[in-house]
Amino acid sequence: MAQGLTKLAWRNLGRNRRRTLITASALAIGTALTIAVIGLIDGMHAQLIHTLTRLDLGHLQAHQRDYRRTRQLERTLPHPVEVRRALERDPRVVAVSPRVHGAALASSGRRSLGVSLFGVEPRSEIKITEFHQTIRKGRYLDDDPTPWPRGRALTAAEAVDDERLTQQAEDAAIAEIEGDSQSKTAATPARQTRRQQTQRLARAIAPPPKRPPRVLIGKTLARYLAVGIGEQLFVSTQAVDGTMTELAVEVIGIFESGTTAFDRTRVILHVGDLRRMLHLDGRIHELAAVLVDLDRADDVALSLAGTVGPDVAIASWGMIQPTIRHVQQQNAAGSLIIMLVIFAVAALGVVNTMLMAVFERKREIGVLKALGMTAGRIVRMFVAEATLLAFFSALAGALLGLLLDLYLHQHGINLSANGKTTTVMGIGMGLTLRAKVTAFGVLMPIFVLCAVTLLASLYPAWRAARLKPAQGMREV
């Protein structure tokens, strides 16, 4: 019986081909557009998440409990070795890399700019982020940190010397305050000696590196500071003990990540070098990890959180950057609305087409009823007709949408009209928005269209079922 209805429904679609084709085209185009929109939105999310996870966060991070909130230098990760081992042992974790963060003023010549210092372990960091792939000039960091002798405490004799030097400086200052004319003449040579001796003591406590530490900087920063490969810039930052460190560093690589914030403010250097600059010894701020499955990051974070002790916070990229979830949710709601609007229009078309069909076939419906077709079967026949129409339109539309998606995936939409990247919630989007093709994004509109059409056909079908057989006869 079902096949009888389907056959009749199918044949009925062929009756007014032009009308069927127009309605089908509308449904197909609606489906294709919906699929393309969903593809672009999914593509945007994928790009946002990619930028976020593969240029910055990784999939998972471990910090000291309060670090993310306060970003204070002294809040370093407790038991970094154990936490790293715990992460690496987990089969869901692909790679782990330690990091240190700092803020600094980078200057070259007369120009200076606030930058963020990003200390990484070069060998393991390439498994987390892709900065090494975005290097446009020069090269990536060396595996080993800059040779940098360790400092030592002053000897007793040196300590006495130091106190004496302080006393001398104080005496000289008081003499100057009191306007002692005699001190003025004697001051200069004494000051020179003090300076040399101070230098010697300071270098014993905090020796400078053997050569300028090597850094990677973004293209925008390089242009702003007018520095090229092999050239130096000054980085001044405050160490964890409050001392100011000013250090010359050498640019060995210039990257272009496509994300404005990184290209403009990020200075990447060896984690060991940054630790020395910030006087952090063996401490780190962060362990970043990449997982087998990025979508399971929340679960992994939650399950690992229990194993690393209360001082350590483990968070997924989504927990660290919840805005992206909000964007995702908003866009999901947005695409649902787009889909419903498109399909509501489609549904109106279906209702119209089916009502016309019912009106045209009043007599035939009467005959079918006279022959013994029940109201239920008549409803089913019209619903089948609409659903068939929707299903094949949706299939065609899905094919078209898939092609559109693939085109938008291949070629993308250029977001950088003037070479500037677009950001969404402060997260860089890259230069091109590419559609992402997902099974869900293609199948969902098909399903929704069929469901909407099925619902939309109920009213005309009910109208048809209400016709009396005798009425049908009388039209004869």
DSSP letter assigned to residue 71: -
Q: Is 153 in the site for another protein (CB under 8 A)?
A: no
CB of 306 to another protein, least distance (A): 27
Helix or strand or coil: residue 436? coil
Q: Which of 472, 469, 464, 467 is nearest to 386 (CA)?
A: 464
Q: Which of 66, 74, 82, 281 binds another protein (CB under 8 A)?
A: 74
Euclidean distance between the first and final Cα of the chain, in Å?
Answer: 27
Q: Is 157 in the site for another protein (CB under 8 A)?
A: no
Question: How far apart are alpha carbons 223 and 245 in whole angstroms?
Answer: 24
Q: Which of 4, 5, 2 is nearest to 464 (CA)?
A: 5
Tokens representing 34 are: 């919906």
Q: Is 189 in the site for another protein (CB under 8 A)?
A: no
Which residues 6+ apart lie within 8 Å of 438 measured at CB?
39, 42
Q: Which residues pair with 433 in a beta bridge?
A: 413
Q: Which CB, 67 or 317, lies closer to another protein? A: 67
Q: Is 205 in the site for another protein (CB under 8 A)?
A: yes
DSSP letter assigned to residue 57: I
Q: Which CB, 2 or 417, lies closer to another protein? A: 2
Which residues 6+ apart lie within 8 Å of 80 measured at CB?
98, 282, 283, 284, 287
Q: Is 470 in the site for another protein (CB under 8 A)?
A: yes
Q: Is 375 in the site for another protein (CB under 8 A)?
A: yes
Question: How far apart are alpha carbons 273 and 146 in whole angstroms?
Answer: 6
CB of 267 to another protein, least distance (A): 13
From 165-173, 289-297, 325-333, 334-342, span contacting another protein (CB under 8 A): 165-173
Q: Is 247 in the site for another protein (CB under 8 A)?
A: yes
Q: Which of 81, 82, 186, 208 binds another protein (CB under 8 A)?
A: 208
Q: Which CB, 365 or 449, lies closer to another protein? A: 365
Q: Is 246 in the site for another protein (CB under 8 A)?
A: yes
CB of 387 to another protein, least distance (A): 17
Number of residues that bind another protein (CB under 8 A): 67
Helix (H), strand (E) at residue 105: strand 93-108
Helix or strand or coil: residue 456? helix
Question: How far apart are alpha carbons 449 and 27 in whole angstroms?
Answer: 8
Q: Which of 29, 154, 305, 356 binds another protein (CB under 8 A)?
A: 154
Q: Is 183 in the site for another protein (CB under 8 A)?
A: no
Q: Which of 248, 388, 402, 455 binds another protein (CB under 8 A)?
A: 248
Helix (H), strand (E) at residue 214: strand 214-218
Q: Which of 22, 81, 114, 210 binds another protein (CB under 8 A)?
A: 114
Q: Which residues pair with 269 in a beta bridge?
A: 119, 215
Helix or strand or coil: residue 437? coil
Q: Is 374 in the site for another protein (CB under 8 A)?
A: yes
Q: Is 360 in the site for another protein (CB under 8 A)?
A: no
From 94-102, 202-210, 284-292, 314-322, span contacting another protein (CB under 8 A): 202-210
Q: Which of 289, 244, 318, 233 is nearest to 99 (CA)?
A: 289
Q: Is 112 in the site for another protein (CB under 8 A)?
A: yes
Considering only residues 8 to 67 of the shown chain, the ones binding another protein according to CB under 8 A are 8, 11-12, 14-15
Q: Which of 1, 156, 157, 417 binds another protein (CB under 8 A)?
A: 1
Rg (CA), the chain: 35
Q: Which of 66, 163, 231, 299 binds another protein (CB under 8 A)?
A: 163
CB of 230 to another protein, least distance (A): 19
Q: Which residues pair with 43 in a beta bridge?
A: none
Q: Is 241 in the site for another protein (CB under 8 A)?
A: yes
* Residue 99, burial from CB neighbour count under 10 angstroms (0-12, 13-18, 19+): buried
Give the footprint of another protein on this chain (CB under 8 A). 1, 4, 7-8, 11-12, 14-15, 74, 103, 105, 107, 112-114, 154, 162-163, 165-167, 169-170, 173-174, 176-179, 191, 194-195, 198-199, 201-202, 205-206, 208, 234, 236, 238, 240-244, 246-248, 363-364, 367-377, 469-470, 473, 476
